[in-house]
Amino acid sequence: MTYADTTHLPEDGPAVSPLRPGDDPAAIAVASQWTLMRHKFLRNKVALFAGFVVIFFYFVGIFAEFLAPGLPATAQPRFTYAPPQSIALWVEEDGERRFLPHVKGYAMEVDPESLRRKFTVDPEKVVPIGFFVKGAEYKMWGLFPWDRHLIGPLNKRDPMNLLGTDKLGRDLLSRVIYGTRISMSIGLIGVASTLLIGVVLGALSGYYGGWVDLGVQRLIEIISAMPTIPLWLGLAAAIPITWSPLQVYFIITLIVSLLAWTGLAREVRGRFFALRGEDFVTAARLDGSSQRRVIFRHILPSLTSHILAVVTLAIPTMIVAETALSFLGIGLKPPVVSWGVLLQDAQNVRTVATAPWLLIWPAGCVVMAVLSFNFLGDGLRDAADPYEH
Amino acid sequence: MGNVKHMEAPDLRLDQAALSVEGLSVDFHLRTHILHAVRQVSFDLYPGRTLALVGESGSGKSVTARALLRIIDAQAKVSGGTITLRGPEGETRLDELAPNSKAIRKVRGGRIGLIFQEPMSSLSPVRTIGAQIMESLRLHRNMDRRAARAETVRLLAQVEIANPEQMVDRYTFEFSGGMRQRAMIAMALAADPDILIADEPTTALDVTTQAEIMDLIARLQRERGMAMLLITHDLGLVAEVADDVAVMRYGRIVEQGTVDGIFHAPQAEYTRKLLGATLKLEKPAARPREAVDEAQPVLSVRGLSKGFGTTNWRGKQTFAIKAVDNADLDLMPGENLGIVGESGSGKTTLGRMLLRIIEPSSGQVTFRPGDGSEQDVTALSGTALAAYRQHVRLVFQDPFASLNPRMTVKQVIGDPLYVSGRARGKALDDRVAELLDLVGLEPSAMERYPHAFSGGQRQRIGIARALALDPKVIIADEATSALDVSIRAQILDLLLDVQKRLGLSFVFIAHDIQVVRYFCDRVAVMHMGRIVETGTAERICTAPDHAYTQSLISAVPSPDPRAKRMLHRTRFQP
C-alpha cells in the first residue's frame, strides 16, 4: 500500500486515526495540565528510569538501618582493608551440591617485603548468610530498637563485607548505605530552603519589577560572583568545633543553600515577567482579583511544574557541593557518614592502589545520583509545558 | 463533491505544467493519534499563472506547500503521491529525493522560491539583509562576492526598496514589516526560480502594505513568467490576484477551478459556505438602529493622550512616541463604536487606557452608569476602579492566551463572580451554566480545560467571562481577528445577539474594515495616534473624507474577481 486509505474518514472534521486500535483521541480534551504532563513524562523512558533510580536511592536512605548489614562505625581490627566478597549460592560437600547462600571468609598473609598484613578471600572458608538475620542492634529512625537486618551472616561474629572494608575494618556497604541517607537528605533540605528564598525573591522581583527587581538582581549578581570554595571554607571555619555533628550538618546545608538559590530566583523571575504580561493575567486583574490572588491563583500554578523541574536539577548541585566540602575536610565530620566523608578515605594514591573499592563505590553513588537527578529534571522540564512539541 | 481529479491526464501537459502534484498525502504521527493532514491532493502549477490554495486553519494548506520542498516536521511523513518538477533539463521527482540531499537543496531556493508568513522570524536577526541574499546567490548562481553584491542591490531595487546601496548593509530589525517581506521576496527571487511559493505572504501585514506587496509579487511574476502557489485564508486576496483556485478542507481539496468559476459558480457546499461567510461581511448587519441623539454618552473621552518615552533626572517625562494623541470619542448607550487603524496606530493603547490597564498621560474619560451620575475614570482608584471595571469589560484578541490553561471553564468564567462575591457554590454553577448557554456552549463544557476547545469556542468562553458581571460596555480588542472567516461571522452575530438581549454598548477595535462595517454603527479611524475621521460606518466605508481613510478602504481586497479593487486603489502619502 503506497498510502493509508483515508477515504472512510469523515468529511466534516479533521482526519484522525488512533495510533493503536481502540484508542480514543478525544479523551485528551478533559485532561488537566497534570494529566497531560504525566502522559508526556511517561513517554520519556530515560527520565522514567532515572526517576526509579532516584526513588531507589531515597528508599535506601530511609531504611538505612535495616538495609545495612552492620553499623557504620563498628571497627573490625582483624579485617582492615579487606577486599569485597561475592555471594555464592551452592556449596560442594563430599561431591554433592547443596543450596547454601554464603560468602567466602578471609585468609591473612603478611607481605614479606613490607611486612604489612594483607587479606585475601579464602575459597575454603564458608560463611553462611541469610535474609532477615539478627545482627547488630540499632534504633530504627532513632526510635525503635531492633536487630534484624535485610542481609547478613547467620553467625554475627563472622565477617561479611560485600563491598570490602576501610582502614579500620569498617564495612563499606553499611557505610555507603548510611551515607546515602545523609547525602540524599542534604539535597532535599538544602533545596527546601533554596526554594523558599528563590521563589519569594524571584516572584517579588518578577511581579513588581522596577526598584525591587533592580535590588534583587544586583544581590543575585553579587552572590554569583563570589568564589564558592573559599567562601565555604570561611563559613565552615566559623563553625564552633564544640557543635555536635548534627548541628554541623544543618549549618552546612544552610551554607550550601544560601549560595544556591540564585538560579531558581532568576528562573522564577523570568517566568513571572513573561506571565505578568499574558492576557489571562490581565483578565484576572480586570476581574477584580487582588494582587495576592493574581499571584497565587493565576501565576504560581502555571509555574509549579517549572519550579519542580528546576528543583530537581538543583538537588544534585547540593549533593556535589556537600561532597566537595566533606572531601576537603571542611564539611561533615566523622562520625557522621556521607559520601563525601567516605571519599576522604580515598584521598591518597596508596589507598586507591591497594583498596580501590574505597574510591569506586562512594564516587559511583555520587555519579549515579547526580546523573539520575539530571535526567529526571530534564524529563520533568520537557513535560512541564505540555503544549510545546 | 469529493476529491477533484485532473481534468486531463498529466502527461499531455508535459511541456506546460512546471510542477505537478498527484495524490499527495501527509500524515502527522502525534502523541495520541495520527493526523492525516493532507489527503490525496493533486494540482498543477503553470508558468505565469497563480494557483491559490485556500482554506481555514488546520486545512493542511501550509503542510502541502512545505511537503513540496521536503521541509516538513520530523513527526510528519509523506505517505504517498508524486511531486514532479519539470524544467528545461527534464523531469525531477521531488518525492524521491532524500530530505537533505544535495539534489533537493539545489531545488530549494534554486528552482522553487519560498516566501514565509512571518518575515521577522524567517530572516536572521544577526546578519545583514544583504548577506542573507548574497548567500543564496553564491550558492545557487556561483557568483563571486562582488557580483553577488551588485546583484543583491539590483534585486532590492527590483522589490522597490529605497536606497538599496545603503539598505544592503542594514539588519533585519532596521526594516519595517513590509520592507522585511520585500527583502524576503528578493531572497526568494535571487536564484531566478521557476516557481514561487508564497505561504500567507501578507497575513502579518497591514492592508495598505498588503496591497503594495501583492502588487509587487504580481508584477515580478508577470515579468519573469513564474508559476506561483499562493497559500492564503483570505478569499478577498484570492479574488484579486489568483488565476486558479483550489479550496482545501481537512486535508482534502474539495473544489478546484478558475477563480471566476469558484467565485461565481461554486460547486462544493463548503466553498459556498466559505464565500457566504466572506460576502456576509461585505455589508452591514441588519439590525435596528436606535435613535441615539438625545441620550447622554455612556463613555466620553476628551483629549486622551499617551506618550511612551523616558523620564529625565527630575522625574519629568519626555515623550519619545505619542502612541495616542488627543483622542476625543463618545460612546452612546446601545451603540457599537468601531476604532479602525493599522498596526501602531494606537488603537489598542486607546482601548487599554479606557480600562486604565495603561495609565493615560493626559486627558479625561467620563463614565455615566445611567443613573445620572458621572465618574471621572482617570481619577478612580482602589475599589471604585474595581467597580468601574465591572461595568466596562474587555474581550481579548488571542483566545489561546487569554484563558488560564490551568483552570477549568467554570473557574475561568466564575472567577469574576467569585472575586466580586456575587455568587458562590451552587449559585455560581447556575450562573456559569446560564452564561454558557448565552454564548451557545453546552453546560457540559464547565469541567473541561481550555485546550479542549477550538479558537471560536474559546472566544465564546472569553465573551462569557466578560458578560459575567452584567457590564454596560464591552471593549472588544481585535476580538475576531484570530479567528477563521466562518467562525468570525458567527462570533460577530453572537455579539450582536447578546447586545440585543442585554442592551450593551461595544467599543470594537479592529484592523479589519469588513468586520467593522458589519458590526459597527459609527467608526473612528486612527492613524499615527490621531483620530483622523469619525463618522457612520456606512459613510466611512463608502465615501470617506480623509485621504488616509480613502487609501485604507481602497486597499481592502474585494471578494469578487470581476470587481477588483485593490489594484485601482488610492495611495496616501502622509
* Chain B environment of A4 (Cβ under 8 Å): 25, 27, 34, 36, 79-80
Average pLDDT over residues A355-377: 87
Task: For residues B62 and B53, give the distance between their C-alpha atoms in angstroms, rounded to a whole number.
Answer: 9
Contact A15 B402 (CB under 8 A): no
Q: In this structure, what C-alpha cell is assigned to residue B233?
A: 485564508
Residue of A nearest to B386 (CA): A288
Nearest to B404 among A19, A280, A290 (CB): A280
Residue of A nearest to B34 (CA): A17
What letter would DSSP give residue B219?
H
A301 touches chain B (CB under 8 A): yes
* Chain B environment of A33 (Cβ under 8 Å): 405-406, 449
Selection from B160, B171, B277 nearest residue B214 by Cα: B160
Of A76-85, A177-186, A276-285, B535-544, the poorest mean pLDDT is in: A76-85
Contact A30 B401 (CB under 8 A): no
Nearest to B420 among A2, A19, A288 (CB): A288
Task: Check: CB of residue A50 under 8 Å from CB of residue A372.
Answer: yes
Task: For residues A188 and B415, give the distance between their C-alpha atoms in angstroms, rounded to a whole number.
Answer: 36
Higher pLDDT, B53 or A263: B53
Q: What is the pLDDT of residue A382?
A: 80
* Chain B environment of A18 (Cβ under 8 Å): 32-34
Q: What is the pLDDT of residue B457?
A: 86
Min CA distance, B57 vs chain A (Å)? 11
Task: Check: CB of residue B96 under 8 Å from CB of residue B123.
Answer: no
Phi and psi, residue B518, nearest 5°:
-70, -40
Q: In this structure, what C-alpha cell is assigned to residue A375?
A: 535526567
Task: Check: CB of residue B32 under 8 Å from CB of residue B283.
Answer: no
Among A123-127, A230-234, B160-164, the range of highest mean pLDDT: B160-164
Contact B357 A286 (CB under 8 A): yes
Cis peptide before A335 (omega within 30 of 0): yes
Read off the pLDDT of residues B219-249 as tens digits, 9 standing for 90 and up.
Answer: 888 888 889 999 988 888 898 888 999 999 8
Nearest to A280 among B25, B250, B403 (CB): B403
A2 touches chain B (CB under 8 A): yes
Q: What is the pLDDT of residue B213?
A: 84
Q: What is the pLDDT of residue B525?
A: 92
> Which of A1, A2, A6, A17 should we substitute to test contact with B (largest number of B Cβ atoms within 10 Å)?
A6
Min CA distance, A300 vs chain B (Å)? 10
Q: What is the pLDDT of residue B58?
A: 78
Contact A4 B447 (CB under 8 A): no
Q: Which residues contact residue B549 at a Cβ distance below 8 angstroms, ignoring those fewer than 6 apart?
A: B525, B532, B533, B540
Task: Check: CB of residue A319 under 8 Å from CB of residue A304.
Answer: no
Whole-prediction pTM: 0.76
Average pLDDT over residues A199-224: 87
Average pLDDT over residues A94-111: 78
A21 touches chain B (CB under 8 A): no
Task: Check: CB of residue B104 under 8 Å from CB of residue B72.
Answer: no
Nearest to B357 among A6, A29, A282 (CB): A282
* Chain B environment of A30 (Cβ under 8 Å): 447-449, 452
State yes or no: pLDDT of A2 exceeds 50: no
What is this model's ipTM?
0.77
Min CA distance, B444 vs chain A (Å)? 11
Of A100-104, A289-293, A359-363, B392-396, the poorest mean pLDDT is in: A100-104
| pLDDT tier, A326 (very low <50, low <70, confident <90, very high otherwise) | confident
- Which residue numbers in chain B have pLDDT < 70? 1-15, 31-32, 286-294, 310-320, 566-567, 573-574
Selection from A182, A228, A190, A185 nearest residue A314 by Cα: A190
Contact B33 A25 (CB under 8 A): yes
Nearest to B36 among A4, A29, A302 (CB): A4
* Chain B environment of A23 (Cβ under 8 Å): 32-33
Q: What is the pLDDT of residue A240?
A: 82
Q: What is the pLDDT of residue A224?
A: 84
Q: What is the pLDDT of residue A25?
A: 53
* 3 state SS for chain A: CCCCCCCCCCCCCCCEEECCCCCCHHHHHHCCHHHHHHHHHHHCHHHHHHHHHHHHHHHHHHCHHHHCCCCCCCCCHHHCCCCCCCEEEEEEECCEEEEEEEEEEEEEEECCCCCCEEEEEEEEEEEEEEEEEEEEEEEECCCEEEEEEEEEECCCCCCCCCCCECCCCCEHHHHHHHHHHHHHHHHHHHHHHHHHHHHHHHHHHHHHCHHHHHHHHHHHHHHHHCCHHHHHHHHHHCCCCCCCHHHHHHHHHHHHHHHHHHHHHHHHHHHHHHHHCCHHHHHHHHCCCCHHHHHHHHHHHHHHHHHHHHHHHHHHHHHHHHHHHHHCCCCCCCCCCCHHHHHHCCCCHHHHHHCCHHHHHHHHHHHHHHHHHHHHHHHHHHHHCCCCC
